[in-house]
Amino acid sequence: MASEISPRAEISPKAKIGDNCKIFPFVYIEDDVEIGDGCIIFPFVSILSGTRMGRKNKVHQGAVVGALPQDFNFRGEKSELIIGDNNIIRENVVINRATHTGGKTVIGNDNFLMEGAHISHDTKVGNGCVFGYGTKIAGDCIIEDNVIFSSSVIENAGTRVGRGTMIQAGTTFSKDVPPYIIAGGTPVGYHGVNATIGKARGVDDKVLKHIANAYRLVFLGQTSVFDACRQIEEQVPDGEEIRNIVSFIRSTEQGIISKL
């Protein structure tokens, strides 16, 4: 089915628009842009060069997608923003493309970016994440699947958030946040296992108890977190979630958040 494109939209003839898209008036799309089938682009959206967008995304008024990186190392190089399928990008969201040639900012599938969220250059976002109102993600971050950011969260550069974690409103953090937990406060700290999301995603109660026991060793033990990982492997029954916790902590470069 042919796309419905307003004659009042400004779209480069070099841009590639898929089938069955709807593009409203006053949309601005630059040359090096690809938009997949079934996308809806609302008025006053800018989609800039380097953007590769998948299928059935909705981009709402005032969003800027593929914006130039806000990075002092940027020298005008070509780079990309890769967006998957079925994402909702609400009003006034800004997503930057990467800084250097060959670099990519990546947004996976089924994510919901609420009004005023900002995803900076070279950040990698998984699938099924929620970014609350006014949340700001700095450059070179990694956000795994099914993470929830409440409103006005600030994630500082080069940090990671593990899968299935929730960050409470107003939190600012500069260290890695491990998977399956609730984190928040000033300074940021561990607030327990994110059991609500775990259960919603079919995690068994027994597994949730194993996760809680693992984090008791990490946050309440009297050893280093790396010794805690060894204790987890020795004392907590093995499983996918436990292996994810240990792998995440062992691979940290920034360190992980502390206990309260």
Residue whose pair of structure tokens reads 């500069």 in the numeric block: 174
| Packing angle of the helix pair 205-219, 225-235 (nearest 10 deg) | 150
103 Cβ contact partners less than 8 Å away, ≥ 6 residues apart: 79, 80, 121, 122
Per-residue pLDDT tens over the stretch 178-229? 999 999 998 999 999 999 888 888 888 999 999 999 999 999 988 898 899 9
Residues of the chain with pLDDT under 50: none
Instruction: Judge whether 241 and 180 are in contact, CB under 8 Å.
Output: yes
The CA-atom distances, in angstroms, between 64 and each of 59, 96, 164, 166, 169 are: 9, 8, 28, 26, 24
- pLDDT at position 200 is 84
Instruction: Judge whether 50 and 81 are in contact, CB under 8 Å.
Output: yes
Q: What is the 3-state secondary structure (H, E, C) of the chain?
A: CCCEECCCCEECCCCEECCCCEECCCCEECCCCEECCCCEECCCCEECCCEEECCCCEECCCCEEEECCCCCCCCCCCCEEEECCCCEECCCCEEECCCCCCCEEEECCCCEECCCCEECCCCEECCCCEECCCCEECCCCEECCCCEECCCCEECCCCEECCCCEECCCCEECCEECCCEEEECCCCEEEEECHHHHHHCCCCHHHHHHHHHHHHHHHCCCCCHHHHHHHHHHHCCCCHHHHHHHHHHHCCCCCECECC
The CA-atom distances, in angstroms, between 88 and each of 131, 200, 237 are: 10, 21, 38
Per-residue pLDDT tens over the stretch 128-141? 999 999 999 999 99
Instruction: Judge whether 11 and 24 are in contact, CB under 8 Å.
Output: no
Residue 122 gets the label, from left (phi > 0), alpha (psi -120 to 50) or beta, of left
- pLDDT at position 244 is 97
Tokens of 164: 């299935």
- pLDDT at position 72 is 96
